[in-house]
Amino acid sequence: MGSCFSTAATKVTGSSSSSGNPAAAPNDNQKNPSPQHHHHQVRDPKPQHRRRGSGSVACGKRTDFGYDKNFDSRYSIGKLLGHGQFGYTYVATDKANGDRVAVKRIEKSKMVLPIAVEDVKREVKILKALKGHENVVHFHNAFEDDNYVYIVMELCEGGELLDRILSKKDSRYSEKDAAVVVRQMLKVAAQCHLHGLVHRDMKPENFLFKSTKEDSPLKATDFGLSDFIKPGRKFQDIVGSAYYVAPEVLKRKSGPESDAWSIGVITYILLCGRRPFWDRTEDGIFKEVLRNKPDFRKKPWPSISNSAKDFVQKLLVKDPRARLTAAQALSHPWVREGGDASEIPIDISVLSNMRQFVKYSRLKQLALRALASTLNEDEIADLKDQFQAIDVDKNGVISLEEMRQALAKDIPWRSREPRVLEILQAIDSNTDGLVDFSEFVAAALHVHQLEEHDSERWESRSQAAFEKFDVDKDGYITSEELRVHIGLRGSIEPILDEADIDKDGRISLAEFRRLLRTASMGSHTLPSTPGVRNPHKF
């Protein structure tokens, strides 16, 4: 339940679990993996749902879940918050007291497989098990009628974690701020583990603040990949979001320890604004996770406290047996209440890095690259000359410093220096200050298209880029077309939702062009949907 629509994180799914219990929901996280990256060793040779064999048999008639049947007499449904594969989430009002809640309405007609029914029952079971925890979205009740299942839960209107950090006044953000957030996440993980439950998808996007108040609690809102596991057993499937997945998940031998790893990744991001394991492909990320160690040398790490570094390092231990558990981590001096997390503001560059991390999505990058692919040979040759002139050390990438030096000379775009640097920094998705040729081309084209998007040339190029995604040529890009073309595994709806302004579940040419026009940072970023930000999603 309840993850955020703004995220573009990649999900990865694998084969059946050894837990003996239903695994993750076959919702947006449950679609078959893409054939892309087939060479990587952790890829399932035969993509399939992560469930037992029951998934191949249709349900037939609609299931009676045994839930209360009086939803309409208890609640009135209001505005739409968001949608997923099986239904919609709304704001609703309790007729008895006027309280506002979030209601996930799931269509029974779409639950044609027994595994889909299991998923709903399992989700309700998890929410009931965790009910009452201060950092878990509150579960009110489950209802049903002939057509729908209704899951009624707490409405979180305080926004997403990273957005809250970036909105801090005077950019004052300290280790203590990060520690407060991490402590709440650890409490959720520890509570899950106490109930024999593994969250399996700990990431910033799956947490919302209850309200906009400064002291608002952070709430875990998405348990779509969570599953129960017996002591001593291990999951054998590969699930989660690529940047946060633990090494043992990729080795198909994971348990509760994987949640602690994911929180270690989150803490690393909160302290420096960069991901500890990064590559341009999903498989590359997995290799980084399996083989390499996080970098604690680049700014701002030299100015981060030793206690904070020790905490992160003890969570990012590749051997799960040597890693701190969530419960143990809560006792670490850096994260515990009244601990030694510094209140000195962290280097401003962290917020800059984090802003890029949050705002510049994978879909925007891919859309720009598709647009860049419409350049003709002469234009490409011209850009190669420019790239090589800027790449002074001839290492195949240009640093932002090389770009600044080039702009100080008589090289094209000098008059556009602020815009060029901003776009290059945005497209540098690893925030490591290095831009390759394909990123350079996308940035170059973006500089021009911002100025020429009303021209015939822009119209033609943007349509050609759109048609690269619109496989069936029906004038719309669907989630499945994005999956096939882009090669993303797992959750695709949050990525599509970013450009899907009218929320009809697909991207029109006009919406695609709007995405391209807003594909840089700052004032050109897509505005959020009016009303509640980051609605509950499934």
Check: CB of residue 161 under 8 Å from CB of residue 218. yes
Distance CA 61, CA 372 (A): 50
Do the annotations mark residue 104 as ligand-binding? yes
163 is catalytic: no
Question: 343 exposed, middle or buried (CB, 10 Å; 0-12, 13-18, 19+)?
Answer: exposed
Establish how many alpha carbons lie within 13 A of residue 15's alpha carbon, considering only the half-sphere containing its beta carbon: 11
Q: Say if CB 29 and CB 132 are below 8 A apart.
A: no
Nearest to 50 by CA among 206, 224, 243: 224
CA distances from residue 266 to 162, 270, 331 in whole angstroms, order as listed: 10, 6, 18
Q: Are 11 and 224 in contact (CB under 8 A)?
A: no
CB atoms within 10 A of CB 494: 22
Other residues' Cβ atoms within 10 Å of the Cβ of residue 161: 24
Sheet containing 75-83: which strands, arranged edge to edge? 75-83, 87-94, 100-107, 148-154, 139-144
Q: Give strand pairing partners of 446.
A: none
Cβ-based neighbour number of residue 303 at 10 Å: 11
Which residue type is seen at 262? Answer: S
Among 227, 273, 257, residue whose Cα is nearest residue 429: 273
Measured from the Cβ of residue 58, the count of other Cβ atoms closer than 10 Å reads 7
Q: Which of 435, 413, 437, 415 shows the shortest CA–CA distance to 426?
A: 435
Q: How many angstroms separate the CA atoms of 267 and 23, rounded?
A: 27
What is d(CA 97, CA 93) in angstroms, rounded to the nearest whole number? 8
Residues 6+ apart with CB under 8 A from 414: 407, 408
Distance CA 6, CA 269 (A): 18
Catalytic choice (201, 227, 497, 500): 201
Q: How far is CA 38 from CA 43, 50, 279, 282, 288, in A?
A: 6, 18, 16, 11, 17
Q: Residue 445 CB: number of other CB atoms within 10 A?
A: 24
Q: Which amino acids are annotated as binding site, given as ranges?
A: 104
- The catalytic residue positions are 201
| Feature table: binding site for ATP | 104
